[in-house]
Chains A and B, each alone.
Chain A
Amino acid sequence: MTVKKSAAASGGVADLFRKQIFIPIAALLLLGLFNLAVDPSFFKISLGNNSDGFPVLTGYLITILDYGSEVAILAIGMTLVTAASGGQDISVGATVAIAGSVILRILVGTGGDGTLQAPIIVAFLAACVVSMLFGAFNGVLVAIFKIQPMVATLILYTAGRSIAAWINNNELPIVTDKVFTYFGGFIPGIPVPTPFFLAVICVIITLLALKFTNLGLYTQAVGINASSSRLNGLNPVFIKWLSFVILGLCVAVVGLIKTSRLSTINYSVIAKDIEMDAILAVALGGNALSGGKFNIMASILGAYVIQFLTTTLYKFNVSSDALPAYKAAVVILLVVISAPAVKEKLSAMGKKLKKQREVA
């Protein structure tokens, strides 16, 4: 009886194992269990008031929702870029700096006293346009000139932060307006961090776009077989280009969150290494970095898993300059378990196990 049961269970597990979203879920569970074992207070969430007297939730989980949302938003665009072009955009950190710089430039100008000179929405829309233009620039290099995405985006990766500094004449404008802080903090009366809502909005828009347009089908078809897609009437160049423009839009949203958090910008460190987190989120979501099929929800979950890891490491006082090493370990692990050779071994092992059980 028990034998039967476990065999059935192993069948269910095998099924889950084949699903793409299994990887981020497993990682999340693993991290959760680890924290539960070491210190259950990790999961404590308390309701307090912030310095403006409005109720806010605090706790590690809220921190994860808060900071993970930035990567989650980028992961949406990065997933599309990866799927369509089979490569990654490494310039997102630098273009976040540009987007942030545009927002501040329009909001307070140069040499201002920090009061708003334009509505926030205008600044944000301008940032959207600018980062989509930079996305389009990357897209042209990749789609038309057929440059490897990582090489093409290396240009902005290198120059982006200088461009960001140039936009504000190398000054560090500070926004004194309270409303501007809402985007990276809390909206009065709502105890959940705003970045999470922004992420939810982005995810909903994306899911609607995937449902009501053929974005998903076209992107995947182009990523899997561009030549065949062309003969089916698609325009692979345009679709690859489009994915970079969409990523540009995601970048603008993150630029808003990032600048809002501190009401200012530091060109050389803002959103530093965030591109690596975004790429890692895509990989953690089980998406092939060589393009093709994708699962956006898995990438988004992957983004929160990365923040879960980061927050856990901060909690254990792991030096922040050592964080990349831990993330690298995760990448290695991912690459190894998704390698065909290992997959085959695992499934063979599973089979053997099943056989032994049957014998028993």
Chain B
Amino acid sequence: MKKRTLVTLLAVSVAAAGLAGCSSSSETAETAAATEAAAEAGEEEAGGEAAAEEEAEAEAPAASGELIRVGIINNDPNESGYRTANDADMKAMFTEENGYEASFAYSLKNDEQITAAQKFIQDEVDYLLLSAADTSGWDSVLQDAQDAGIGVILFDRTIDASEDLYLASIVSDMNKEGETAVNWLADQGLEEYNIIHIQGVMGSAAQQGRTGALDAKVAAEDNWNLVTQQTAEWNSEKAQQIVQSVIDSGTEFNVIYAENDDMAKGAVAALDKANISHGVGKDVIVMGFDCNKWALEELLAQNWNYDGQCNPFQASYIDEVIKKVEAGEELAEKTIILDEKGFDATTITEEDVEKYGI
């Protein structure tokens, strides 16, 4: 028992280290408690006898009425609004009321995540839910999990490992997100597309998917041109400078394709400064991704034209997978693609903003 608390505490203190700021006051208390307890952890470790209760749990995990224990490894919720929403969604789903006992570990670093995973395996959780920081390096630890009879479910991000090592992978299809957006743009029927393309951090899955579709289209169509294609590294300030630079140079453009909402906001700030109109029926089409609530409100006000969703609400999918596995059902497919929408400023409703805004 002691050992288990220890691991949980460690996991939380990992979170605390990467976090220091928390999204709710109850969590702040939890963090403080964890930090306190972490100090004692070292002493407790030595005397860590595996309690009988824990063994019983490990052998008969699915007994009805008992909580299903999940270890959740996620990226730092501070990273972005998307991640914050994702984390909040997880926290809301894996509660005792829903029949779960959840432990969380946060890190943006792969090696720290792997350490956390090993702790969870030692701790004999029933399921390991993983959003990996990096795609590689997971084989051996997932093998360990499998040997220990722990079900691994990937969410949000895929990894380079054999499919046999995990039960399911719940991901966004970034390529599809890009295609949906590009198709929407093509439907606007402009005579000529002069696009400022602002990219995310180069090499990230989201950047690759969202860039790929646009690159393909620009290569294929004569009237699609890239005025500039630059990475702003998800940073609104850099996006503003990139667009400012294009405006200063006097080059014509009529589309801003920003790979997330923050960068679209930076771009719009530059447009506003130079009195270039944007939005529905205006000079420049503004496109963003991720469906932040404030971004959708811009859509509602018709200041922006399009926002592609990158669905952070994966907990219900995971819940469904776990329920199926617990009931002994077969999963139809290993890779579960999230439903993702693209919102058009002309058709978006207030309900959409409330429901899908993050």
Interface residues of A (CB under 8 A from B): 41, 44, 48-51, 53, 56, 58-60, 62-63, 67, 159, 161-167, 169-172, 174, 185-186, 258, 261-262, 264, 266-272, 310-311, 314-315, 317, 319-321
Given the complex of chains A and B, what is the CA–CA distance between A169 and B231 in angstroms?
29
- Asked whether, in the complex, the Cβ of A169 is within 8 Å of the Cβ of B247, the reply is no
Q: Out of A50, A165, A315, which one reaches B274, CB within 8 Å?
A: A50
B2 smallest CB distance to A (angstroms): 30
Q: Return 14 A-B CB contacts under 8 Å, by A number.
A: A59-B248, A166-B21, A169-B25, A172-B292, A261-B269, A262-B266, A264-B265, A266-B235, A268-B79, A269-B234, A269-B235, A272-B235, A310-B241, A320-B233
Q: Which residue of B lies closest to A46 (CB)?
A: B250
B244 nearest in chain A by CB position? A63
Q: Name B20-78 residues within 8 Å CB distance of A.
A: 20-25, 77-78
State whether A266 touches B236 (Cβ < 8 A): yes
Q: Are A50 and B273 closer than 8 Å at their CB atoms? A: yes
**Residues A262 and B236 in contact, CB atoms below 8 Å apart:** yes
B interface residues with partner A (beta carbon < 8 Å): 19-25, 77-81, 84, 201-202, 228, 230-238, 240-242, 244-245, 247-250, 262, 265-266, 269, 271-277, 292, 294
**In the bound complex, how far is the Cα of B84 from the Cα of A142, in angstroms?**
36
Query: CB distance B274 to A58 under 8 Å?
Result: yes
Report which residue of A50, A169, A320 has the largest number of chain B beta carbons within 10 angstroms of its beta carbon: A320
Task: Report whether B248 and A315 are in contact in the complex, using a CB–CB cutoff of 8 Å.
Answer: yes
Interchain CB contact under 8 A, A186 and B273: yes
Distance (whole angstroms) from the CB of A308 to the closest CB of chain B: 13
* Residues from chain A with Cβ under 8 Å of B81 in the complex: 172
B78 touches A267 (CB 8 A): yes
Please state if B275 and A51 are interface contacts (CB–CB under 8 Å). Answer: yes
A63 / chain B contacts, CB cutoff of 8 Å:
241, 244-245, 248
Q: B21's contact among A162, A262, A321, by CB below 8 Å, is which?
A: A162
Within 8 Å by CB of A319, from B24, B78, B230, B277, lies B230
Contacts A269-B234, A270-B237 known; A48 to B274 CB distance under 8 Å? yes
A165 touches B21 (CB 8 A): yes
Contact between A269 and B21 (Cβ–Cβ < 8 Å)?
no
Q: Which residues of B contact A269 (CB under 8 A)?
A: 233-237, 262
Evaluate contact between A164 and B21: CB separation under 8 angstroms.
yes
A320 interface neighbour in B231, B250, B274, Cβ under 8 Å: B231
- By a CB distance below 8 angstroms, the chain A residues around B250 are 41, 44
Contacts of A271 in B (CB 8 A): 237
